[in-house]
Structure 1
């Protein structure tokens, strides 16, 4: 937090308040949810700062990266939606933004006239490669946790995702 921020852990204080209000039996759950939400804010701010020079949001970066990983550089919009685990409307919005700056293009499916593909352009490919290098260096190489704690966090979140039916 900023130098003017609290000198105590606000989430620990929230736990005390929860317990004092008579909700001690669910305080650990509240702390877990609040902690994950705060961690999301911290990591998202770092990712957004790294992607700012490329004029990319994380969702647009993810779409570009997915397309760059695909063998042909193109995917049906609905498949991109499934792989990114977001509604097709969100993917379409990201495509519009990326299309407006020449990073992707929509093309007809070669064998299915009902389907539209989204394809990464050469400039999109070079942009996502540069952005990936920046994210790797500025964020992913050191997320603020030792490697063993990072793996434990991933394992815990995977358990949560699996129990929610995420996969």
Structure 2
């Protein structure tokens, strides 16, 4: 639940857009959209972190565990994880370090490529990803206020922007 002490009596993004237009500044609708997305991101991460923190996870570590959980053998090369998660290799290394320290993954040598290290999900990692997913499902991944149809529309709308940015 959001802290009621921080609620405003007006929508500050709508007010910013009104002022933007009044000053004749460019792209007021785009500014409002980006500001809305940024604020929604903050809200979502706060809600998700509240659920994941007791499990020793961040959203980035949760995503890494889910990726390993879904992989055919429960393991992937660190480089492939970075590509699929769309993050810098150092971020994957950090996430795997922390997941390994928690006992959720372990590193293993690649059987045919001595230059490659695999991250392999452990049985404990599989249990925690199931627990975390159930808990995130309970809060709809923090997306209170969006039913399934609205969530699908948001996903569809943002897909065009992601595609234009070369995301896929």
Q: TM-score, normalised by structure 2?
A: 0.93
Aligned length: 166
* Pair 1:152–1:31, CA change in 2 (3 A): same
Structure 1 residue 55 displacement after superposition: 1.3
Provide the rounded CA distance (Å) in 2 between the counterparts of 1:118 and 1:2: 39
Structure 1 residue 146 displacement after superposition: 2.4
Of 11, 20, 24, 1:22 maps to: 24
Other-structure match for 1:104: 105
**Between 1-10 and 95-104, the greater mean CA deviation after superposition:** 1-10
Is 1:54 matched up with 2:55? yes
CA contact (8 A) 1:48 1:58 kept: yes
Structure 1 residue 143 displacement after superposition: 3.5
Ranges of 4+ aligned residues in structure 1 off by more than 6 Å: none
Structure 1 residue 141 displacement after superposition: 8.8
Q: CA RMSD in A?
A: 1.5
Is 1:13 matched up with 2:15? yes
Structure 1 residue 140 displacement after superposition: 3.7
Structure 1 residue 142 displacement after superposition: 5.7
Q: TM-score, normalised by structure 1?
A: 0.94
CA contact (8 A) 1:67 1:75 kept: yes
Other-structure match for 1:41: 42
Please give the secondary structure, in 2, of the residue aligned with 1:143. coil
CA contact (8 A) 1:47 1:139 kept: no
Provide the rounded CA distance (Å) in 1 between the counterparts of 2:4 and 2:85: 37
Structure 1 residue 18 displacement after superposition: 1.0
CA contact (8 A) 2:48 2:142 kept: no
